[in-house]
Chain A
Amino acid sequence: MADLHREVFLVLAFYLAGAVIPLILKKHPATSLGLGCLSAALAGVLALSVGVRGMLSPEPVLISLGHILPGVELELFIDRLSGFFVAAISLVTLLVSLYSRDYMKLYQGENIPWWSFCYNLFVLSMTLVVTVNNMITFLVFWELMTITSYFLVTFEYRRQQVRKAGFAYIVMTHLGTVFIMSAFFILYSGTGGGWGFADMANYSPDLPEATKSIVFLCALIGFGTKAGIVPLHLWLPMAHPAAPSNVSAVMSGVMLKTAVYGMVRLIIDILGPGPSWWGGVVLAVGVVSAVVGVVYALMEHDLKRLLAFHSVENIGIILMGVGAGMIFFSWNMGVLAALALAAGLFHVLNHAVFKSLLFLGAGSVYYATHSRDIEMLGGLIKRMPHTAALFLVGAVSISAIPPLNGFASEYQIYQSLLGIAYLKVSGIWMVAGILACAALALTGALAAACFVKAFGISFLGLPRTEKASKAVEVPWGMRLSMAPLAILCIVTGIMPEMVLNPLAAAAGQIFSAAAVPVIKTYNSNLALLLLALVAALYGMSRLAGGGRVRRSETWGCGIVPDASMEYTAASFSQPVRRVYRSLLQPQRKVISKYALLPYFGYRIHFEEHIKSLVKDFLYSPLRRITIIMSKKWRFIQCGNINLYLGYIFITLILLLVWNR
């Protein structure tokens, strides 16, 4: 057993220092920002080493930090699974902290020490959420994570839109927390064995099936809200654009993953094998989230809202892997279950890497142009070549294109889904497995379309506005903190075994599977073949005609083309909007003004909106019902303090009678 006490204490100390020191040095914003970021980065480095060692150590590490409440001890329990999540969280936050030092200069005049305070506590609480081993401390840090991230989202609170987004975020995640708490309390009352995860896991096999199913559903809804599964994803596209880009990178890259951790820990580790419909439900939720998320992403022109919808998509893909694992688990096939869960967890890491890369890229674009609307951009590859290349790596990764990491993990998920079909348990499951594969293929194609649009419209062609034409490359600090993420996209894409095998071991530990076989992949060979072929073809072309290329104006039927003749994002996505209109419900309004005849139009006004079916059919009725109900109950709220004391007294009596 590795001794990690010292490192863990240092991690805690650095995060706390990073939170407190900036507040003390409030008078010197530049120094306080620098120290806050540096402290978070140092803590990140240490936490990364703790995480990696925890992930590779066969024995879990237990570190006690003393009692925080009578009977509730703050203990850190780092097994392979927790180690993996700590490593993923620290890796991303480490680089984001370095990036923030330059990026936050954009917010001069705002309360930057407060940002440092919330950011450090936010990262600390995420690290603790995935390592604590009892439910009380889990909930404490879960809440701390939510509240600090709320303040990060509402950092620019003077804008009304930001306040609105923050409100939606905190209300929805708290509704989710209610479900998580219910799951915990049902487990606690069912087992009566204490708050520790280990106690729960020991008692849970004795629970009746129906209770377990209720706990499962509560956990799925509760953690699903945080993760952003459809239809509980509404807060994501609101909160991400409102937050500063470095915060969105952390929230989308890793905070959503703490919810995945919660699901794996509670549903798979604590509840144990369930009926196969649990896995089926998770798989279905994954498929729906993936497809719906990416279709809506394609309709967005706000770079950060677009990326937010892609988070919904990728959470869906992760859940497809987790769901496949649960299905195998219910069939008592530990090894296959471990491989499927490892595939899902691998996508957790990959999504964390490429999504934070993309959000940081969007941040750099915003830094240079002060615009997030891709219709206002264009031609940035000439002005910001490094940012463009880094963003392109992220775009190829998220589109699941070989030889980068998005393909590597989606490939493993394909294999797991196919595994469901190979086993021939029943016809329904075979069809379900293959259909899930088709959905994954559809998701990949739509994601590719979306990123051809996102990258092509904002970085290629001619600049569409003056802001875009005057953009300059961002400071080196920002570029250099994005580069390791891009390198990781390539390395984990070419050598997935490096991560997959430890993950399979971690998953094997959860399913208590016998020796999980060593996974071998062909990705490095494929990358080598591609590289060799492209190089050979280039050489052939050089031999055939030398390397000369002549540059000239684009052909535009006799006119010299300008930016107004370029394809826009709206026109790029029009065919998809039309083909998937039953889902998107586009509402179009065109007003043309003619001078004389329909052939001499001088002005045309075009607008098109898409409807959110979830909002119209789920949230609006719910909101209406809530308002009607609240109006009916308003009479009990009269503002008289004596009456409220009376309510409390009556409640107390009732509780005493109940628990007699």
Chain B
Amino acid sequence: MEGNVTALGGQIIFLMLLAPLINGIIKKAKALTQRRRGPGVLQPYFDILKFLKREPVVSAHTSWITLVTPYVCLGASLAAGSLIPLWGHSAFQLGDLIALTYLFALAKFFLALSALEPASAFGGMGSSREMMITTLVEPVLVLGLFGVVMVAGTTDLAGLAGAGQNPAGVLAFIGLMVVTIAETGRIPVDNPDTHLELTMVHEAMLLEFSGRHLGFLHWAAMVKQTVFLVLLTYLFWPHPSGSPVLQAAGLLVGKVALLGLLLAVLESIMAKMRLFKLPELMVGGAAFCLLAVLSNSFL
């Protein structure tokens, strides 16, 4: 029991600390592919620290929803991350793959609501676009994940380590990569580096947040990105069970960083898509996931 508590707490802190590093690596890699020097990989840590020290200014029109949103978002993302039994604390029965995907919906719901609170057009725009993108992403995500799950015969994450290691898994992986790009707000779906109102989605929702609140929301976005990458490595490329904790952690960081590099390269070689071209991208992702489901069903 005590070991489990340590494992769970350790994993939550591990994810909190890993997330800014992964974001830093992605940013650095992007800068390098664009022939820039870019900020150091540790820069996101400094950013978060700076934000946490600042007093937040919130719009006078907002209610308690805006005040709780930063904590709900980061809390839900961390809860989602702690469901993946990286070091075998599955004895707790905290939740499964379905809970993991729906916890992100909780975060999104509150963020979208709080974006409508300050009564500015920017927040409404971000909120409306985010929810539209969610309706495209969610079915593809479920299709891809369940394409993996249907082989393993369980949604319990403890039984899903490496469940995607089969030919159909390759197809599901490609589909889920598309989902990851959309869910983490990266090019070609959204641009994390811009505040140009015509193109932004996630950033538009954050526009009225500042100080500590903004820091928590940025952190939540980084944790979400890391959780998605960790989930992908867990399903498709897990470390052998029983390996020592430190070695496993090191391997995990390496693999997640590799996937992050893949994201950075994809982001650098692609242009931002028009918002209403997104259905085509998601249909493409859905096609791969559906092929995975079909091949699991008929082959």
Contact = CB atoms under 8 A, between A and B. Distances in A.
Interface string B108-148: 11001100111111011101110110111111111100110
Interface string A566-584: 1100011111101100000
A430 B293 CA distance: 8
B99 interface: yes
Interface residues of A, number: 80
Interface of A, helix, strand, loop or mixed by DSSP: helix
Contacts of B67: 549
Interface in B262-299: 275-276, 278-279, 293-294, 296-298
B162 interface: no
A421 interface: yes
Interface string A513-555: 0000000101001100110011001100100110011111111
B170 interface: no
B80 to A, nearest CB: 10
A422 B150 contact: yes
Interface of A: 378-379, 381-382, 385, 388, 392, 396, 399-402, 407, 411, 414-415, 418, 421-422, 427-428, 430-431, 434-435, 437-442, 444-446, 448-449, 451-453, 455-457, 460-462, 520, 522, 525-526, 529-530, 533-534, 537-538, 541, 544-545, 548-556, 561, 563, 565-567, 571-576, 578-579
A440 B143 CA distance: 11
A129 B79 CA distance: 45
A456 B99 contact: no
Given A533-B79, A545-B55, A434 B94 contact: no
A313 to B, nearest CB: 13
A431 B106 contact: no
A452 B116 contact: yes
12 contacts: A385-B63, A418-B155, A421-B146, A430-B293, A438-B142, A449-B132, A453-B131, A460-B65, A460-B113, A554-B120, A561-B119, A579-B278
B131 A449 contact: yes
A239 B145 CA distance: 40
A562 to B, nearest CB: 8
A385 B64 CA distance: 10
B121 A452 contact: no
Given A567-B127, A571-B128, 14 more contacts: A399-B105, A421-B297, A442-B139, A445-B135, A445-B139, A461-B61, A533-B75, A537-B216, A541-B212, A545-B53, A545-B54, A545-B212, A579-B136, A579-B276
A554 B208 contact: yes
A402 B123 CA distance: 24
A552 B60 CA distance: 5
Interface of B, helix, strand, loop or mixed by DSSP: helix
Nearest to A543: B52
Q: Which of B124, B276, B296 has most A Cβ within 10 Å?
A: B124
A567 to B, nearest CB: 2
B14 interface: no
B57 interface: yes
Given A421-B150, A455-B113, A448 B108 contact: yes
Nearest to A565: B121
Given A522-B95, A529-B82, A530-B75, A553 B150 contact: no
Interface string B184-199: 0000000000000000
Nearest to A575: B132
Contact of B118 (A388, A434, A439, A461): A461
A550 B61 contact: no
A209 B298 CA distance: 30
Interface string B34-57: 000000000000000000111111
Interface string B62-89: 0101011011101110110010000000
Contact of B59 (A414, A431, A441, A553): A553
Nearest to B111: A452
Contacts of B96: 522
B257 interface: no
A176 to B, nearest CB: 31
A384 to B, nearest CB: 11
A434 B143 contact: yes
Nearest to B208: A554
A575 B275 contact: yes
A576 B131 CA distance: 9
A462 B123 CA distance: 13
A567 B139 contact: no
A457 B21 CA distance: 38
Nearest to B96: A522
Contacts of B135: 442, 445-446, 449, 576, 579
Contacts of B56: 549-550
Interface string B151-162: 001010000000
Q: Which of A379, A437, A576 has most B Cβ within 10 Å?
A: A437
Nearest to A451: B109
A530 B59 contact: no
B235 to A, nearest CB: 16
A601 to B, nearest CB: 18
B112 A541 contact: no
Contact of A550 (B55, B63, B121): B55
Contacts of A563: 119
A417 B69 CA distance: 33
Contacts of B32: none
B112 A456 contact: yes
B63 A418 contact: no
A525 B4 CA distance: 14
A401 B106 contact: yes
Nearest to B72: A534
Contacts of B55: 545, 548-550
B269 to A, nearest CB: 26
A526 B95 contact: yes
A445 B105 contact: yes
Contact of A441 (B108, B142, B208): B142
Contact of A439 (B121, B131, B139): B139
A448 B134 contact: yes
A414 B150 CA distance: 12
Contacts of B112: 452, 456
